[in-house]
Chain A
Amino acid sequence: MSEVVQPASLALAVSRPKTSPFDWRRAVPLLLAAPLLIYMLVFYALPVVAMLLRSVNDPTWTLSHYATLLDDVVFQKTFWITINTSVTVTLGCLILGYPVAMGLVRAKSMAPFILVVILLPFWTSVLVRSYAWMVLLGRHGLVNEALLALGMIDRPIRILNTPLATQIAMIHILLPYMILPIANALRQIDPSLIRAASGLGSTPFMTFRQVILPLSMSGVAAGTLLTFVLALGFYITPAMVGGPRDITLSMLIAQQVDQLNWAYAATLSAVLLATALAILAVARKLPGVGNAFRTSMR
């Protein structure tokens, strides 16, 4: 290692004035990033830390806020709903997203069009999209009208303000986060592997099972992780289209803040953050996934 490095560092030493105590060239990237770093520190990191601190020092240093969560029925139900919603939404995204990712990778002239359709939700605000779902899923919305017209139902059914509405809207909003990492992994599969499989006697379905699916698992892992962690923190969509009693953790936090119940809100936030970090930490330890995560984040 050191032998390999030596010539380069020697050259550097020669070209650098020996008197200079500080290598400015190395400092340049740091200097360029400094304004943003300072901004993030002052307006993001400090408030988050200050908020989280409230869970342990309000009114005095204590862990009692966490202790009460252990037999807080509201918290436990909310936590369960949040996890349940996130799992359902992630599975929904996976089932709907995988075929789309395959289509995107296989499409030739259609690919840019498909990509635009996938990315369209990215360019629209979550608020607008949630309003759109309210319109679609309402008592006299498009979905009910269509089902009525098809004769599948006799009178409008209740979709809006149910967990189903939350799931439908969240799947729509989170789909790109699932599709793009999977498409990325699929694109990296050498096409000659698929030909080889076919030439060796594998039907298209067997090729999918034994070659394409295993080789895209890195993308599946990255997409699943991303979608799940994002779903954990969803607030606007479940608040707007979900049921009044199906409260997620972030809704509960907002509610507590409204009531100026800062310590409780901070404790819930800490739990939500810890859950997301724990999932990421465990996932990174799984063989292959950590790698995939780093690749897709690049």
Chain B
Amino acid sequence: MTGMGTNGAGSGPVSGRGASVTLSNLEKTYDRANAAKAVDGVSLDIRSGEFLTMLGPSGSGKTTTLMMIAGFETPTAGDIAIDGKSVVAMPPYRRNIGMVFQNYALFPHLTVEENVGFPLKQRGVPKAERAKLVAEALELVHLPGYGARYPRQLSGGQQQRVAVARAVVFRPRLLLMDEPLGALDKQLRENLQLEMRRLHADLGITFIYVTHDQEEALTMSDRIAVMNDGKVAQVGSPEDLYDRPDNRFVAGFIGESNFLPAVVRGMEDNIVIAECEGALIRALCPGRPASGEKVTLTTRPERLRFADGVWAGTPPQNRLSVTVTEAVFAGERCRYMLQAGDGTSIVLKEPSSATIRRRAVGERAEIAWSVADTILV
């Protein structure tokens, strides 16, 4: 790979094979008349070699952020540094970043080989070396022997692989992907998710991946930045986001959550005791809410159990009396809609088993769950 990656963002304090990316207070307003910010003060530290996913609903500013990193949009305010060096003033073709577009953006007038060789040609790599690198890249994405075809002669999944090969053939230190699997069917998407992980492990470069599919984000990423309304709602590992959401948006956006209105009654170390529907519920809480404050507790449906069931070890501390309002058998699990006291509805998911008694609608029951699965948001 001699003579490559020396221009653009390749210099500066370099560690490992992947670039580090720092976004500081990044802002973007598209038109001055409508002052709504597409990206509103995003700060993120993306580590060298990390697989970071930006996850968020439509219009939350994911693409805009990615386009600013790639250099296709200019930030209204804030800074982008790659390997510690600001790139805001650098045109895209000097940034040396690999990019996979949602529609793949393969050149229709070029063959697969010419498409993959395109970035090498721009860098003046001699023909013989180009052919070798292209063959390697096509092998990496499991498409050897397709070099002479045109993009329109490939299936969607194959086109996607060509786009990936083209984005990594020049060994960029950073790869950006905007919903690269969005146009594919579920089966193919799951296969390619695994391949992306493998590719990330093989190449060791930094991946910034955009998706609005939370399952995809949870299975693939080292860390996820949840975006909402142009802001980062939370950054963390998939486990962090699922088990310890910082706020109601994250709890509701990633997986399913129950929200219980409660009133703070006291604190024990970093556990808050709150009253909810006449019961005292304990929850993890990083801050120190005042006694009497109205708060919301959150917990996951699959972490709840009926209290009279079979327990391994001591039954958990949090308990609530409920009435079953709906019971749905969904194969691997049963899903119950429950009502606590005067109106709070709660979802409970129980693994289905022939030995577990199914509850009937209208039945009264007590549910139980552990303090560690309860978060104050």
Contact = CB atoms under 8 A, between A and B. Distances in A.
Nearest to B100: A196
Contact of B103 (A190, A206, A214, A215): A190
B118 interface: yes
B201 interface: no
Contacts of A31: none
Please indicate which of the listed interface residues A192, A197, A199 has the most CB atoms of chain B within 10 Å of its own CB. A199
B122 A195 contact: no
Given A198-B72, A199-B70, A206 B109 contact: no
B119 interface: yes
Interface in A167-215: 190, 192-193, 195-203, 206, 210-211, 214-215
Contacts of A190: 103, 105
B103 A203 contact: no
Given A202-B93, A211-B107, A215-B108, A196 B123 contact: no
B97 interface: yes
Contacts of A206: 122
Given A214-B109, A215-B109, A202 B103 contact: no
Contact of B101 (A192, A201, A202, A211): A192
Nearest to B67: A195
A156 B92 CA distance: 52
B150 to A, nearest CB: 13
Nearest to B163: A196
Contacts of B122: 200-203, 206
Contact of A201 (B70, B72, B108, B119): B119
Interface in B151-172: 166-167, 170
B109 A199 contact: no
A201 B91 contact: no
Contacts of A201: 93-94, 96, 119, 122-123, 170
Interface in B191-244: none
Contact of A195 (B92, B95, B98): B92
A190 B106 CA distance: 10
A215 to B, nearest CB: 6
A192 B180 CA distance: 14
Given A192-B103, A214-B109, A200 B72 contact: no
Contacts of B118: 197, 200, 202, 210
Contact of A199 (B99, B103, B108): B99
Contacts of A193: 105, 107-108
A199 B107 contact: no
Nearest to A288: B109
B180 to A, nearest CB: 13
Contact of B166 (A192, A200, A210): A200
A214 B110 CA distance: 10
B224 to A, nearest CB: 24
B119 A200 contact: yes
Contacts of B70: 195, 199
A195 B97 CA distance: 12
A190 B91 CA distance: 20
B105 A198 contact: no
A210 B72 CA distance: 19
A198 B109 contact: no
Contacts of A200: 93, 99, 118-119, 122, 166-167, 170
B95 to A, nearest CB: 8
B15 to A, nearest CB: 23
Nearest to A189: B108
A66 B167 CA distance: 62
Interface in A28-48: none
A170 to B, nearest CB: 32
B255 to A, nearest CB: 33
A192 B103 CA distance: 8
Which of B91, B107, B167 has most A Cβ within 10 Å?
B107
Contacts of A203: 93, 122
Contacts of B91: 198
Contacts of A195: 70, 72, 92, 101, 105
A12 B170 CA distance: 58
B311 to A, nearest CB: 56
Given A201-B122, A214-B109, A196 B93 contact: no
Interface in A19-34: none
A192 to B, nearest CB: 4
B373 to A, nearest CB: 44
Contacts of A211: 107
B129 to A, nearest CB: 16
A202 B124 CA distance: 11
A197 B119 CA distance: 8
Interface in B52-110: 70-72, 91-99, 101, 103, 105, 107-109
Contacts of B167: 200
B82 to A, nearest CB: 14
Contacts of B98: 199
A193 B106 CA distance: 7
A199 B170 CA distance: 12
Nearest to B72: A195
Closest 7 CB pairs of A and B: A196-B105, A201-B122, A200-B119, A192-B105, A199-B99, A198-B92, A202-B122
Given A196-B105, A201-B170, A203-B93, 7 more contacts: A199-B70, A199-B93, A199-B97, A200-B167, A201-B119, A201-B123, A203-B122
Interface of B: 70-72, 91-99, 101, 103, 105, 107-109, 118-119, 121-123, 166-167, 170
17 contacts: A193-B107, A193-B108, A195-B70, A195-B101, A197-B107, A199-B95, A200-B166, A201-B93, A201-B119, A201-B122, A202-B93, A202-B118, A203-B93, A206-B122, A210-B118, A211-B107, A214-B109
